[in-house]
């Protein structure tokens, strides 16, 4: 894509917006950025863009651009249906997302991962695995570092491993990863989409340009109706190309001892299956990548092992902000579980997980706004205790656990009743567990 002399509008003043704007500028475009947020609050962003030589138009002025643009680049936090985006779609030759924009300016092959849960762990795992095998790879996209920033850096790379959200996939056109990965699917983001079907269709855009050259790696239980070559995986069903039993991951000709990994739980076994499938595609022997996979630790707050105290393992899954993530984490445990669950009451149906809780949790410690409701729903069949704080919940869970048990902190809902976000919630859990070890 030749941007020299072109007029580019970038919508959104966040990280991906800034990266896209500076990338466009570096390619010779005339760039103006727009954000309809409060001008006073965006003053630091105005200064940041200004230092890069880019004007940032804020507030009401951003809603009525005077100029027409050759291309408008949309940040993923802005829905295409919002009046802000519609205005620029009408005033520009083309409206695309930041992922599509960066893709057109790069020649490095891409491995792209989507799904409701597990994206970040798998993206990090694959990038780490490739690097350990001597390939130059970086993780980017929804994981934190903007794809445009990777392209702008001009790093000499063999692979870019991208976590891509449904928001980012809404606005692709020619984006065509060499390997496209579908981790799983469950209802989420219904504040953005009109229906579950709309959310699923947005994610399916990942395969919009799949061909016979594309490798699709997908959850066995999710038939996507694709014609591209596929590799399937499942730790919970038979019949997949990659399966799981007795602590081992296996494919048709070989197996991998998952029990030796730092990662915990059958859902994490699925993340490892995906990494091994990628290794197979790139002709990387399992014995070459095994050390990096075994030593890989989950990113913070994603079934992260915090400590083992008196032979009880404490897992921090504070990133669990929906029922599917709770279901995956709980179903994936192979040891008896004391579950710490609860948080903000956002109308989720915890009754739907009652049978799983009966089968997997020897006790549940319920916290937050919805804690008493969970205890009432599950209490006839699961030993439930309601606690007023994470600190109290950790102490209570420890007293309920025996050697060999797992204390799983997987709230299953958001944290805003008690914390600023799941990160703060997870750090409080971490500190509470560490306090046990010195008590």
Q: Are 189 and 224 in contact (CB under 8 A)?
A: no
CA distance 27 to 219: 39
Of residues 29, 33, 32, the one with CA closest to residue 2: 29
Residue carrying structure tokens 């709230």? 411
Under DSSP, the state recorded for 242 is B
**376 SS3 class:** helix
Q: What is the dihedral of CA 185, 191, 196, 199, to 10 degrees?
A: -60
- Please tell me the predicted confidence (pLDDT) of residue 247: 94
CA distance 184 to 188: 12
Question: What residues does each domain of the chain span?
Answer: 7-98, 106-295, 304-438
Beta carbons within 10 angstroms of residue 60's beta carbon:
9
Q: Residue-wise over 268-291: b if at least 16 C-beta within 10 A, else e?
A: bbbbbbbbbbbbbebebeeeebbe
CA distance 238 to 223: 15
Beta carbons within 10 angstroms of residue 133's beta carbon:
16
CA distance 23 to 45: 17
**132 SS3 class:** helix
**139 SS3 class:** strand
E strands present in 296-411 = 304-309, 312-316, 337-341, 361-366, 384-386, 406-409
- Please tell me the predicted confidence (pLDDT) of residue 187: 63
Residue 239 Ramachandran class (φ > 0 left, ψ -120 to 50 alpha, else beta): left
- Please tell me the predicted confidence (pLDDT) of residue 365: 98
**186 SS3 class:** coil
Of residues 12, 273, 49, the one with CA closest to residue 168: 12
- Could you tell me the pTM of the whole model? 0.84
- Please tell me the predicted confidence (pLDDT) of residue 66: 82
CATH 3.30.750.210 fits 304-438, yes or no: no
Compute the residue count for the chain. Answer: 439
Q: Are 92 and 68 in contact (CB under 8 A)?
A: yes
Reading the chain (439 residues) residue by residue, the pLDDT tens digits are 899 999 999 999 999 999 999 999 999 999 999 999 999 999 999 999 999 999 999 999 998 888 899 999 999 888 888 888 999 999 899 999 999 999 999 999 999 999 988 899 999 999 999 999 999 999 999 988 999 999 999 999 999 999 999 889 999 999 999 999 999 987 666 666 778 888 889 899 999 999 999 999 999 999 999 988 999 999 999 999 999 999 999 998 899 999 999 998 899 999 999 999 999 999 999 999 999 999 999 888 888 999 999 999 999 999 999 898 999 999 989 899 999 999 999 888 999 999 999 999 999 999 999 999 999 999 999 999 999 999 999 999 999 999 999 999 999 999 999 999 999 999 999 999 999 976 5
CATH placement of domain 7-98:
3.40.50.720
CA 87 to the chain's CA centroid: 30
Superfamily of domain 106-295: Mur-like, catalytic domain (3.40.1190.10)
CA distance 340 to 338: 7
Give the tokens for residue 378.
């599950």
Ordered alpha helix ranges (H), 176-253? 196-204
Q: What does 322-345 look like in DSSP terms, one character per residue?
A: SHHHHHHHHHT--S-EEEEE----
Give the tokens for residue 387.
């606690």
CA 257 to the chain's CA centroid: 25
Give the tokens for residue 245.
């039993």
- Please tell me the predicted confidence (pLDDT) of residue 80: 87
CA 193 to the chain's CA centroid: 18
CA distance 158 to 181: 18
Q: What pairing do the DSSP bridges indicate for beta strands 71-74 and 7-11?
A: parallel
Give the tokens for residue 206.
């990942």
């Amino acid at each position: 894509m030749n941007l020299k002399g072109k007029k580019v509008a970038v919508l959104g003043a966040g990280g991906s917006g800034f990266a896209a704007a500076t990338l466009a500028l570096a390619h010779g475009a005339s760039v103006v950025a727009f954000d309809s947020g409060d001008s006073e609050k965006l003053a630091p962003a105005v200064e940041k863009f200004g230092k890069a030589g880019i004007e940032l138009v804020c507030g009401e002025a951003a809603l009525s651009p005077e100029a027409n643009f050759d291309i408008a680049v949309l940040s993923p936090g802005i829905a295409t249906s919002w009046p802000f985006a519609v205005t620029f779609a009408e005033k520009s030759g083309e409206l695309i997302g930041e992922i599509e924009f960066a893709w057109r300016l790069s020649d490095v092959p891409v491995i792209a991962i989507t799904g409701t849960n597990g994206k970040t762990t798998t993206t990090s795992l694959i990038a780490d695995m490739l690097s350990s095998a001597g390939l130059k790879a970086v993780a980017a996209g929804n994981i934190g570092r903007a794809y445009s920033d990777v392209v702008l850096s001009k790093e000499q790379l063999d692979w870019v491993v991208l976590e891509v959200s449904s928001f980012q996939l809404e606005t692709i056109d020619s984006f065509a990863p060499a390997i496209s990965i579908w981790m799983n699917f469950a209802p989420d983001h219904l504040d953005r989409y009109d229906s579950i079907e709309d959310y699923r269709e947005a994610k399916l855009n990942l395969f919009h340009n799949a061909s016979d050259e594309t490798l699709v790696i997908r959850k066995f239980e999710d038939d996507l109706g694709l014609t591209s070559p596929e590799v399937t995986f499942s730790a919970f069903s038979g019949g997949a190309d990659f399966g799981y039993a007795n602590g081992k991951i296996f494919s048709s000709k070989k197996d991998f001892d998952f029990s030796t990994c730092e990662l915990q739980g059958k859902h994490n076994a699925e993340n490892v299956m995906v990494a091994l499938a990628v290794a197979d595609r790139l002709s990387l022997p399992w014995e070459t990548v095994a050390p990096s996979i075994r030593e890989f630790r989950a990113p913070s707050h994603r079934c992260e092992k915090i400590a083992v105290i008196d032979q009880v393992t404490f897992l921090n899954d504070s990133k669990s902000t929906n029922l599917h993530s709770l279901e995956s984490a709980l179903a994936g445990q192979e040891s008896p579980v004391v579950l710490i669950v609860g948080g903000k009451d956002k109308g989720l149906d915890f009754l739907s997980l009652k049978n799983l809780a009966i089968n997997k949790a020897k006790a549940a410690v319920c916290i937050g706004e919805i804690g008493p409701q969970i205890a009432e729903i599950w209490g006839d069949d699961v030993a439930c205790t309601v606690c007023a704080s994470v600190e109290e919940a950790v102490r209570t869970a420890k007293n309920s656990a025996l050697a060999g048990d797992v204390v799983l902190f997987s709230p299953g809902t958001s944290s805003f009743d008690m914390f600023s976000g799941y990160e703060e919630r997870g750090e409080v859990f971490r500190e509470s567990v560490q306090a046990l070890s010195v008590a």
